[in-house]
Structure 1
Amino acid sequence: MICRLERYAAQGSTVPGRSRRRQRAFTLIELMVTIAVLAVLMGIAIPSFSEFSLSSRLRSYGTSLVASAQLARSEAIKRNRDVTLCMSANGTSCANSGSWEQGWIVLQGATVIHQQQSLAAGYRVTAVDDVTSIAFRPSGVGATQTTLRICRASPSAGSQERVVTISATGRTSVEKTTDGSCPSA
């Protein structure tokens, strides 16, 4: 038996069936340091993600409004008739009251060409000159010239905005601003 134990000792093992390998684990201090580092990284990442999310949603709404205006203009040219882009709460007719964030439609006569759903809660679309509809002539020229501002109603995550401009020629453009002056409803 002693010869066997000497042989195991020479091989690096002290007892038959057991190895000298030690179990490894995190100590409480290592775990606390790791959690502290993760907390700092999350504190940095969450505001950045919130700013990115805000920017993405504003970009989406601005692009949607520009696309609707371009669709109205091209349909006016194609149909050789006046086409209107107007705010609409029900998606079937133009609204004379309310605001653009309730949604909008592209309308030719009584035919709805395109409908945009309402914006998410907390976002606002305001016309600089309180325009409720934008008309496009058969030549593609805009009968209404306006500027629409898309912003966060309470800009806690940032002061980004999108400003959509529709010129007298019917051309549309969108610009990112950081004005932070979202007008109240």
Structure 2
Amino acid sequence: MNMTKVSGGCSMRSLAHQRGFTLIELMVVIALVAITATIAVPGFNRMIESNRMTATTNSVIGTLNFARSEAVRRGEPVLVTLAGNGSVQVYVAADLNTLLRETGALPNGVSLSRDPDADTVFRGNGMMQGNQVRRHYDICSNNGVSDARVTVNVGGQTSVNQGAPNC
């Protein structure tokens, strides 16, 4: 469909024949993308840090539950200790050469400590050995995003409190 302009003598083509974007349209889109990225990137970093903390917390809980179930299955004490790189290791208490499980090293920006600073031993009946009523594993983020405390009670059961430790 061709239309003719009455005042200028130029013909205008229909919209079906026009292709591409104008420079102004392109600049508006780039500005909108830049504004959206500026708002989204900090939230994305926070989400990544939160996922690291959740993964570490779940790894500690899983390792403690594994150690308790191994102690019951074997009918003998099982030891849970922290390695120098922050990984959690599970050994047969009578034979420290028998490594049953080891978690990976801690992700960047995450630290793990325990209170009291002593190894956790599960007896063959699944209960925690020693005179401690409970043991705490504090998982801390360098950014303070979502710290967590994993508690093991005398019965060997684990629980999690988000934001509980003083990191």
Unaligned runs of 5+ in 1: 1-10, 14-19, 90-100
3-state SS of 2:138 partner? strand
3-state SS of 1:67 partner? helix
Q: Does 1:125 align with 2:109?
A: no
* 8 Å Cα contact 1:86/1:134 also seen in 2: yes
Please give the per-residue CA displacement for 1:23-81, whole angstroms capped at 9, x wherever unaligned: 33322222222111111111221112111111111111101100110111111111110
* 8 Å Cα contact 2:49/2:145 also seen in 1: no
1:40 counterpart letter in structure 2: I
Consecutive aligned runs of 4 or more in structure 1 exceeding 4 Å deviation? none
- Say how many residue pairs are matched: 152
3-state SS of 1:56 partner? helix
Unaligned runs of 5+ in 2: 4-12
Task: Provide the aligned C-alpha RMSD in A.
Answer: 2.4
* 8 Å Cα contact 2:90/2:100 also seen in 1: yes
Q: CA deviation at 1:12?
A: 4.9
Report the equivalent of 1:160: 146
1:71 counterpart letter in structure 2: F
* 8 Å Cα contact 2:46/2:145 also seen in 1: no
Q: Percent identity?
A: 31
Pick the structure with greater CA Rg. 1
Q: CA deviation at 1:169?
A: 0.9
Report the equivalent of 1:112: 99
1:102 counterpart letter in structure 2: G
TM-score (norm 1): 0.73
Measure, in 2, the Cα distance between the counterparts of 1:71 and 1:176. 22
2:113 counterpart letter in structure 1: T
